[in-house]
Amino acid sequence: MPAVRKGLPAPRMLLGSHKPIQEPPPPMVTIIGSLDQLPVELDDLPPLSADGIVFPVTAGERERYRTKAGKRVTQHQWAVYDFSLRIPKGKIVRYKDICTALGTGSPRSVGSALRNNPFAPYIPCHRIVASNFFVGGYSGQWGEGHKVNRKLHLLEEEGVSFDAKGYVEGGERFLWKPEAGSIRKG
């Protein structure tokens, strides 16, 4: 278990690594392409060691990874998590857009992967909404409740606005569409 230094700034680290970044890591090709092209600022994420969460990035790490319940993460789940990491702040994606971009699965399988996301909040699953731009679910809760309110709060902090019924106002305006050809299958 890594040591926790209180009161000191954490060194910048690559997700899944315990070593400070000294030089650019070699690119790793995944279902989404190169992980070094992710629009994720590590300074924007909570320190990984704070929750003891490590996000595996290599094929070997992913093969060995088990959830707290001892379950393996499927290739489809890894693909959903990798795709979700690419969604920029202030943008949303619909469940169906993810399975369409990946070329596999269904909106329900994407929802299931996100409901069982062992890497939250590092995988920004709050940025995925229903096809009709309804807030959808969050942490296994659908439509209303304190968990869904947390999702609304996270999105509102990023500039996404909702109406009183939980629908994204001007949904298309916030919709993120990955660049053509940026999604690659393993």
pLDDT digits (tens, 9 = 90+) for 21-30: 544 434 433 4
pLDDT of residue 181: 47
- CA 21/CA 43 separation, integer angstroms: 12
Domain-located, residue 8:
no
Distances (CA, A) of 44 to 6, 139, 169: 18, 21, 25
pLDDT of residue 135: 86
User: CB neighbours (10 Å) of residue 28?
Assistant: 14
Q: Which pTM value belongs to this model?
A: 0.68
- CA 133/CA 128 separation, integer angstroms: 9
Expressed as residue numbers, the domain containing 58 is: 53-174
Domain-located, residue 132:
yes
Q: Domain of 95: which CATH number?
A: 1.10.10.10
| Residue (of 128, 133, 129, 130) closest to 170 by Cα position | 133
CA angle 140, 144, 145 (to 5 degrees): 75
115 close to 137: Cβ distance less than 8 angstroms: yes
Domain-located, residue 10:
no
Average predicted confidence (pLDDT) for the chain: 75
- CA 55/CA 74 separation, integer angstroms: 14
- What total number of domains does the chain contain? 1
Distances (CA, A) of 184 to 58, 104, 123, 161: 16, 12, 19, 31
List, by residue number, the catalytic residues. 125
pLDDT of residue 141: 56
pLDDT(13) > 60:
no
Q: What value does the mean pLDDT take over residues 67-79? A: 93
Q: How do 141-142 and 137-138 pair as beta strands?
A: antiparallel
Domain-located, residue 112:
yes
157 close to 6: Cβ distance less than 8 angstroms: no
Q: Residue written as tokens 């969604």?
A: 87
pLDDT of residue 131: 92
pLDDT(16) > 70:
no
Domain-located, residue 127:
yes
pLDDT of residue 182: 52
Domain-located, residue 7:
no
Domain-located, residue 36:
no
Domain-located, residue 6:
no
